[in-house]
């Protein structure tokens, strides 16, 4: 009896004492039959569960990559191919658009980054931010060339809208209630005229 107890070891899976019979081929730890996986190979349940989890993780990763590739393919299919030197139109947000400013500004593709983002330029300089392809559309006509873009200068969309149209209003709308007569009004203070983007239907003397 003492010899039998001396030959017993603790199971790696359930911590119970047993006479060693099997050794896991993955972790090289002893386990008894009740803690083995239902496989032809000597594999403990812990390693078997780990194998199943790893397989499911790989499947999830492959599924996500497949979905991302599908979305990218659909996006590329919907958007036209653009190249460096193409003229494009960029929509001007309403808050950045003056009263006389057009809805779009004309730009040209100067370069493309490794992340599929585009560097755009206008006749007043390079635009300060990068653009993805869904943020602009191809211009039906060519008005700009790369040689016309001034080097060393940069502008943002608001500055370009102001320079191309000469309209300043729309950038700092006021919300006055008393007629816009003093410098308490933002428009009066900046020496610009109020417009429809300012105070709704209140009377105005500016």
Q: How confident is the model at residue 47 (pLDDT cuts 50, 70, 90)?
A: confident
What does the pLDDT read at residue 69? 81
Residue 105: the pLDDT is 87
Residue 156 pLDDT > 80: yes
Gap between the Cα atoms of 66 and 143, Å rounded: 40
> Domains in the chain, please, with CATH?
2-75 (3.30.40), 87-165 (2.30.30), 172-206 (no CATH)
Asked whether the predicted pLDDT for residue 197 surpasses 90, the reply is: no
Record the tokens describing residue 166, joined without a space.
């000469």
pLDDT digits (tens, 9 = 90+) for 72-125: 776 666 777 888 999 999 988 877 766 667 788 899 999 999 888 999 999 888
Backbone angles phi, psi at 121, to 5 degrees: -135, 155
CB 128 within 8 A of CB 64: no
Average pLDDT, the chain: 78
Most confident of 32-46, 52-66, 75-89: 52-66
- The pLDDT of residue 120 is 92
Q: Which of 107, 87, 96 is nearest to 157 (CA)?
A: 96
Average pLDDT estimate for 36-49: 71
Residue 178 has pLDDT above 80, yes or no: no
What's residue 184's pLDDT?
84
Neighbours of 158 (CB within 10 A): 17
Element (H, E) at 164: helix 157-165
Q: Between 142 and 174, whose confidence is greater?
A: 142
Q: What is the dihedral of CA 55, 60, 61, 64, to 10 degrees?
A: 160
169: closest CA among 90, 115, 106, 98? 98
Mean pLDDT, range 52-60, rounded to an integer: 88
| Minimum mean pLDDT range among 2-6, 76-80, 81-85, 160-164 | 2-6
User: Which has the higher per-residue pLDDT, 107 or 187?
Assistant: 107
* Predicted pLDDT of residue 66: 87
Specify the residue for token string 């809805």. Answer: 103
Show the tokens assigned to 204: 């105005």
Are the beta carbons of 158 and 101 closer than 8 angstroms?
A: no
Confidence of residue 2 (pLDDT cuts 50, 70, 90): very low
Kindly state the tokens that stand for 43: 């594999």
Q: Calculate what percentage of the chain has a pLDDT beyond 70.
A: 73
pLDDT surpassing 50 at residue 11: yes
**What is the secondary structure of 113-159 as a DSSP string?**
-TTS-EEEEETTEEESS-B-GGGEEE-SS----GGGSPTT-EE-HHH
Whole-angstrom Cα distance, residue 138 to residue 187?
36
- pLDDT for res 35: 63
Question: CA angle, corner 64, sides to 58 and 66, nearest 5?
Answer: 100
Return d(Cα 139, Cα 104) in angstroms, integer: 11
């Amino acid at each position: 009896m003492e010899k039998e107890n001396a030959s017993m070891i603790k199971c790696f899976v359930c911590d119970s004492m047993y006479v060693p019979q099997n050794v896991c081929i993955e972790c090289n730890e002893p386990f008894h039959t009740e803690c083995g996986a239902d496989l032809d190979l000597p594999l403990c349940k812990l390693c078997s569960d780990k194998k199943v989890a790893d397989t499911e993780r790989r499947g999830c990763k492959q599924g996500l990559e497949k979905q991302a590739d599908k979305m990218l393919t659909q996006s590329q299919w919907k958007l036209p191919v653009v190249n460096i030197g193409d003229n494009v139109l960029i929509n001007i947000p309403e808050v950045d658009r003056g009263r006389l400013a057009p809805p779009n500004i004309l730009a040209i593709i100067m370069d493309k980054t490794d992340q599929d983002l585009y560097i755009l330029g206008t006749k007043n300089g390079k635009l300060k931010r990068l653009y993805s392809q869904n943020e602009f559309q191809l211009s039906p006509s060519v008005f700009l060339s790369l040689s016309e873009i001034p080097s060393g200068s940069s502008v943002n969309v608001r500055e370009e809208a102001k320079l191309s149209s000469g309209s300043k209003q729309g950038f700092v709308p006021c919300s006055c209630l008393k007629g816009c007569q003093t410098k308490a009004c933002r428009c009066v203070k900046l020496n610009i005229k109020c417009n429809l983007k300012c105070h709704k239907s209140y009377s105005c003397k500016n």
